[in-house]
A and B are shown apart, each in its own frame.
Chain A
């Protein structure tokens, strides 16, 4: 049984209140289009020029059906994929060509992907320690943050388990714990409740709202479910990809 850290609104205790005083764009995507060749002379186009701005302290849901390019957009925002056309600006700087590491160096970012990510040869606890130590968080802080995250997500009994022995929902909770324990300035979540049961989902959504509202964390979340999208302050709705015959697309 999961235990939220407090009664009432779900909140993350150890975060300082860093609510952004001034609203300025943290993320700006302009005219993003991604083209994948799927057969000779045929392209699948995602986006058709998506443009949006996410302000510091904002919470944006990207809503769309399966295969509509939500995860592709996440990868582009994180710098794991480059758009065929368009610009990604982070904190006022053009980061379209920069990797996730360089973007995260500018704006401390944590990501939860649709597919669970953990090193199979390390235990849950070791994975969380490694992730936070890679971000340069001192050990004394790591212990506290990890304990808090594991308690919140009900992972205490799994701390010495190996990821491959866990269910998809348990792995998803590890990913969420890892991302939130890092206390990022920018949190990117690709369908964060995908593998979770309703009891955990009911904790995660209010938690995200609390992180955004009380602590000013900037959040970008994708979802296929309108009821989850409504957690965010703002939403953008993707359209299905279109197919067209190949033609030069200027970068």
Chain B
């Protein structure tokens, strides 16, 4: 019995491969390193987290937007292969989460080394990564829901 599978479409796109993804990771890494090496202790400050909540989704959304022409080809192919809109969104959310986690890795390492696994800071970091994933998927969601998208199949 051949049954459609979710894993290939979601997992095959999890790893960031594009230049824009690498740039987004670099920006987040630089911001993370700046926080880690700052002599101040900013991690409990609401302002620091608010900055993270703005920086991560904006960087992820910018990475996704700057790569629109290639990702549109990707979306057209995935729909043609039988993928659903939800699967394709999950694919991008996962990729955005991976970009965020790698980019914020200096902070992850610091908190994992110094705090409990259930600490608030780690939770906030995870929340930032999820918000980053959602922001990464947002341009594709807008694109694939437009009538202009299916017009692309017509050559």
Contact = CB atoms under 8 A, between A and B. Distances in A.
A127 B77 CA distance: 9
Nearest to A100: B79
A77 interface: no
A136 B84 CA distance: 14
Contact of B4 (A111, A122, A134): A134
B155 interface: yes
Given A118-B73, A118-B77, A134-B8, A99 B154 contact: no
Given A81-B150, A114-B154, A134-B8, A121 B84 contact: no
A101 B82 contact: yes
Contacts of A105: 4
Q: How large is the interface on A (under 10, 10 to 19, 20 to 34, 35 or more residues)?
A: 35 or more
Interface string A119-158: 1111000010011011111000000000000000000000
Interface in B119-134: none
A113 interface: yes
A184 to B, nearest CB: 10
Contacts of B3: 136
Interface in A83-123: 99-101, 104-105, 108-109, 111, 113-115, 117-122
A175 B73 CA distance: 14
A134 B74 contact: no
A117 B2 contact: no
B12 A115 contact: no
Nearest to B18: A121
- Interface-central residue, B2, B9, B81, B150, by most chain A CB under 10 Å: B81
B155 A114 contact: yes
A39 B77 CA distance: 31
B150 A80 contact: yes
A68 to B, nearest CB: 12
Contacts of B73: 117-120
A108 B4 CA distance: 10
Contacts of A81: 147, 150
B74 A113 contact: no
B85 A120 contact: no
B17 interface: yes
Interface of B: 1-5, 8-9, 12, 17-18, 70, 73-74, 76-85, 147, 150, 152-155
